[in-house]
Chains A and B, each alone.
Chain A
């Protein structure tokens, strides 16, 4: 069997980056949430806020750790799987990633210890400052990464000389045409993810009849943040759609599932399609009439451009882009429904007693992660066949590495990451099941995974057999 290094390199990067993005998204969202919660605690001195802070700090710490480790892998992958990309685009991309380390990581490293271990060791105001700095660090980190990725989507400020990118204007490299819209889109995605995560766990406690005050407060605050963030996201998402339609028309043509150069007027909105890339048509399409014109052209009779406007060899694979985009959009619709209903139930004073709504919140707990991953799939698969839009094709960016070597590292990543996610889920579920009352004042360093597991098992045994000593 012949192994294609290009396909394997792409699968490997897709796998590792899909796994990675879960954790920074959670870290950015939870860090901002913790900052607000600690601020509310300082202002009101209400102990429930402190309880919420202590509980979510533990889950934040775990997510932050896994996010850092899996993020480092990606930098190495630029060299290992995409060496030609690193060689050609290094002068523009490298400094952005280096600056992320110098600004965001140093800031986070300086204050994370105080945040995690200093609740009883430093004054409350200094501790709050540390939390704010960690939250700021996560956002600065996202800014640099989004700047680098946006440059790959809409490159600017460079010339191409002797087969390499030469930077002519640093400001335009960083502040490239799509960065200022993609950055808030990603930050809002992280805030929404954190909000639904927090609200979902709170709803679960309410449904189980446990930790009721904690559950009410987290559901209320989580939905409060989500309401504002989801509304902003719809607005920013539409701005980004317009921007990408201008700079990357083929991506948006694929995202909407139209093939013909111009759609019928009025255009339907496609919900489900079975695309046939070879014959440039849809074998099946489930659509709502007129809605395509309304949502995509903001008029009743507007036409939508299809993928045949792009030469075949420059077309992305429609199925990947379409379903990435539509997963994100459908989750966004569900989120808007949930926050709108939450406002109605709040007015009716039935927010915490409507069981179907609480169940829906529990089901929506991972919705932010799903939408974020789907959004990134849209962004990355829609950019194909380019790795740097209009400059470097993905096929020309791959390292000259045998397929077998690429496959072996892919298998290693799958095994190691499966261990990571298993450990994360075991600890996160245990922390959630244990509840906020038993959350420690600060993160506990157990020295090793074995010790940590042993402690958890012993805690569980003590909880289930309270009469027996250790």
Chain B
């Protein structure tokens, strides 16, 4: 039981505490450039636009177009950036 408790605590520490296992240090060391900030803002606006379009705010036709565009974009990104092939 004690061993199991230690194992659970260890997992919890990895989850919420933090020995760096996946390169968090690399991320935090990376400079947050203006280009990246603009990218984040544009991506957020695009996301909000898609969300509202999918909810039908701009009409049914726009919702269908938004759905097709969003899925196409997702599929393109999924196949274009299949990370586990390049990094594993």
Binding site for B on A (CB under 8 A): 204, 206-209, 212-213, 216-217, 220, 224, 227-228, 231-232, 234-235, 237-239, 242, 294-295, 298, 333, 336-337, 339-340, 343-344, 346-347, 349-355, 358-359, 362, 433, 460, 464
Most chain B CB atoms below 10 A, which of A336, A339, A351: A336
Closest to B86 in A: A349
Residues of the B chain whose Cβ atoms lie less than 8 Å from the Cβ of A242: 56
C-alpha spacing A224/B77, complex, angstroms: 10
C-alpha spacing A337/B47, complex, angstroms: 8
- With A209-B21, A231-B70 in contact, do A340 and B50 touch (Cβ < 8 Å)? yes
Q: Does B16 contact A (CB under 8 A)?
A: yes
Closest to B64 in A: A235
Residue-by-residue, is B40-66 near A (CB-CB < 8 Å gives 1, otherwise 0)?
100100010011101111110001100
C-alpha spacing A213/B86, complex, angstroms: 12
Closest to B28 in A: A355
| Contacting pair B78 A224 (CB below 8 A) | yes
- With A231-B67, A294-B52 in contact, do A359 and B16 touch (Cβ < 8 Å)? yes
| Contacting pair A216 B57 (CB below 8 A) | no
- With A231-B54, A231-B67, A238-B56 in contact, do A353 and B84 touch (Cβ < 8 Å)? no
Given A207-B21, A216-B88, A344-B40; 18 other pairs, CB 8 A cutoff: A204-B11, A207-B15, A208-B14, A213-B88, A216-B83, A217-B84, A220-B78, A220-B82, A231-B67, A232-B71, A242-B56, A295-B57, A298-B59, A347-B77, A349-B81, A350-B27, A354-B27, A362-B15
Q: List 26 A-B contacts (CB under 8 A).
A: A208-B11, A208-B15, A208-B21, A209-B22, A217-B84, A220-B84, A228-B74, A232-B67, A234-B51, A242-B56, A294-B52, A294-B57, A295-B52, A295-B57, A298-B56, A298-B58, A298-B59, A340-B43, A343-B77, A347-B77, A355-B18, A355-B22, A362-B15, A433-B11, A464-B3, A464-B4
Q: How far is the CB of A348 from chain B (nearest CB, A)?
A: 9
- With A216-B88, A238-B63 in contact, do A224 and B26 touch (Cβ < 8 Å)? no
| Contacting pair B22 A358 (CB below 8 A) | yes
Q: How far is the CB of A65 from chain B (nearest CB, A)?
A: 25
| Contacting pair B43 A346 (CB below 8 A) | no
Q: How far is the CB of B11 from chain A (nearest CB, A)?
A: 6
| Contacting pair A355 B24 (CB below 8 A) | yes
Most chain B CB atoms below 10 A, which of A227, A237, A337, A349: A227
C-alpha spacing A352/B47, complex, angstroms: 21
Q: How far is the CB of B72 from chain A (nearest CB, A)?
A: 10
Residues of the A chain whose Cβ atoms lie less than 8 Å from the Cβ of B47: 336-337, 340
Q: How far is the CB of A214 from chain B (nearest CB, A)?
A: 10
Residues of the A chain whose Cβ atoms lie less than 8 Å from the Cβ of B33: none
Most chain B CB atoms below 10 A, which of A216, A340, A358: A340
C-alpha spacing A349/B16, complex, angstroms: 23
- With A224-B74, A352-B83, A354-B27 in contact, do A344 and B43 touch (Cβ < 8 Å)? yes
Q: Does B31 contact A (CB under 8 A)?
A: no
Q: How far is the CB of A233 from chain B (nearest CB, A)?
A: 9
C-alpha spacing A101/B71, complex, angstroms: 35
Residue in A216, A354, A433 whose beta carbon sits within 8 Å of that of B84 in the complex: A216
Residues of the B chain whose Cβ atoms lie less than 8 Å from the Cβ of A354: 27
C-alpha spacing A234/B70, complex, angstroms: 12
| Contacting pair A346 B54 (CB below 8 A) | no
Residues of the B chain whose Cβ atoms lie less than 8 Å from the Cβ of A231: 50, 54, 67, 70-71, 74
| Contacting pair B51 A336 (CB below 8 A) | yes
| Contacting pair B26 A353 (CB below 8 A) | yes
Q: Does B37 contact A (CB under 8 A)?
A: no
Closest to A215 in B: B84
C-alpha spacing A350/B15, complex, angstroms: 18
Closest to B55 in A: A238
Residues of the A chain whose Cβ atoms lie less than 8 Å from the Cβ of B26: 353
Residues of the B chain whose Cβ atoms lie less than 8 Å from the Cβ of A337: 47
Residues of the A chain whose Cβ atoms lie less than 8 Å from the Cβ of B56: 235, 238-239, 242, 298
Closest to A299 in B: B57
